[in-house]
């Protein structure tokens, strides 16, 4: 399940990003390099009578060594009339906290006694969270917070976020930031997964911790190299739990976003930044936009 959040769910980004450099040059479309094999994360969206927009597939967290936000990419961001993201800015931490509180009981009820012992031992020995600290921090919270904590151990302390960089550029250049959905809708996705399934996902992440950490490193390497042909098959192969809930986390959201994207792109040039997992395939945003009559072309980020 960690890979779902890595490419599809950008909530709870607790990491900071560096301030973007102000750029003055306007992107020149004649300088754009078309990527014919589809191995790119930046796509130009065109339709007769409308301004050109751009679609970029992000990875919500990535180790600093793999992070590269090119000057060309920044130019496209700051020259847009509006920036569209999954959520329109960082959510209020108090609101997020309240949404993550359990209605009743404790997170213990998601696990069998043996599973709970495994969770407590892992948190203590691997993450330095004692059983007492576990209860103080996680007992009253929905299990997503626990999943997020385990996920963050896959990254270096200096890990970066493309989403936060785009948000920072929007704020610095006073560009309107439009959200495709709310934080309530995103967190609500996990409420639709049966408790037993969530518990099993957490246990599998614990049991396969070292392997998943290595796979996350490989995913970051593929992302940095924009090897889409290798990135997506690895994501699907290593996340069978994702395939079970792909409509919930991916395709239903894609279809819900298309009318909103249509409306925004009618009157302005937009820079759209969403998780890379949303872009590709028959039910991906690229294909759905093409079905709406747009011409979508892969271009280089350099």
Examine residue 235 and state whether it is found in any structural domain, yes or no: yes
Examine residue 122 and state whether it is found in any structural domain, yes or no: no
Examine residue 244 and state whether it is found in any structural domain, yes or no: yes
Could you tell me the pTM of the whole model?
0.89
Examine residue 25 and state whether it is found in any structural domain, yes or no: no
Spatial CA neighbour of 59 closest among 279, 277, 281, 297? 277
Q: Calculate the average pLDDT of the chain.
A: 88
CB 214 within 8 A of CB 162: no
Spatial CA neighbour of 271 closest among 7, 35, 12, 72? 72
Examine residue 28 and state whether it is found in any structural domain, yes or no: no
Residues of the domain holding 50: 2-12+37-101+141-299
What is the secondary structure of 152-206 as a DSSP string?
HTTS-TT-B-HHHHHHHHHHHTT--EEEEE-HHHHHHHHHTS-HHHHHHHHHHHH
Examine residue 219 and state whether it is found in any structural domain, yes or no: yes
pLDDT by 10s per residue, the chain, length 302: 445 455 555 554 533 343 343 333 445 555 789 998 889 999 999 999 999 999 999 998 999 999 999 999 999 999 999 999 999 877 788 888 898 999 999 999 999 999 999 999 999 999 999 999 999 999 999 998 898 899 889 999 999 999 999 999 999 999 999 999 998 998 888 888 888 888 888 999 999 999 989 989 999 999 999 999 988 787 766 565 556 788 888 899 999 999 999 999 999 999 999 999 899 999 999 999 999 999 999 999 98
Examine residue 231 and state whether it is found in any structural domain, yes or no: yes
pLDDT tens digits, one per residue of 249-280: 889 999 999 999 999 999 999 999 999 989 99
Spatial CA neighbour of 58 closest among 48, 69, 72? 69
Sequence-ordered list of residues with C-beta below 8 angstroms from that of 57, at least 6 positions apart, any chain: 7, 41, 42, 274, 275, 276, 277, 278, 279
Sheet holding 53-58, edge to edge: 177-181, 82-87, 270-275, 53-58, 42-46, 295-299
Examine residue 131 and state whether it is found in any structural domain, yes or no: no
Q: How many domains does the chain have?
A: 1
């Amino acid at each position: 399940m960690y890979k779902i959040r890595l490419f599809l769910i950008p909530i709870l980004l607790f990491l900071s990003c560096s301030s973007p450099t102000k750029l003055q040059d306007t992107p020149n479309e004649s300088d754009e390099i078309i990527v014919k094999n589809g191995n790119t994360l930046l796509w130009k969206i065109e339709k007769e009578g409308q301004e050109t927009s751009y679609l970029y597939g992000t990875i919500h967290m990535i180790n600093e060594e793999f992070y590269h936000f090119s000057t060309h990419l920044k130019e496209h961001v700051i020259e847009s009339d509006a920036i569209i993201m999954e959520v329109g800015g960082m959510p209020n931490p108090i609101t997020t906290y309240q949404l993550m509180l359990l209605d009743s009981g404790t997170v213990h009820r998601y696990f069998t006694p043996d599973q709970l012992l495994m969770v407590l031992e892992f948190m203590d020995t691997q993450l330095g969270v004692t059983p007492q600290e576990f209860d103080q921090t996680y007992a009253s919270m929905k299990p997503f917070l626990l999943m997020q904590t385990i996920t963050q151990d896959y990254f270096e302390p200096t890990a970066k976020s493309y989403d936060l960089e785009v948000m920072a550029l929007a704020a610095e250049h006073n560009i309107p930031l439009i959200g495709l959905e709310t934080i309530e809708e995103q967190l609500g996705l996990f409420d639709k997964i049966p408790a037993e399934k969530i518990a099993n996902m957490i246990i599998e992440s614990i049991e396969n911790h070292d392997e998943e950490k290595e796979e996350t490193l490989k995913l970051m390497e593929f992302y940095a190299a924009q090897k889409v042909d290798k990135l997506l098959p690895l994501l699907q192969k290593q996340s069978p739990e994702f395939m079970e809930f792909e409509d919930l986390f991916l395709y239903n959201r894609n279809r819900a976003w298309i009318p909103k994207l249509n409306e925004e792109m009618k009157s302005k040039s937009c820079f759209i930044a969403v998780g890379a997992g949303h872009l590709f395939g028959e039910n991906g945003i690229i294909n759905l936009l093409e079905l709406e009559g747009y011409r979508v072309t892969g271009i280089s980020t350099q």
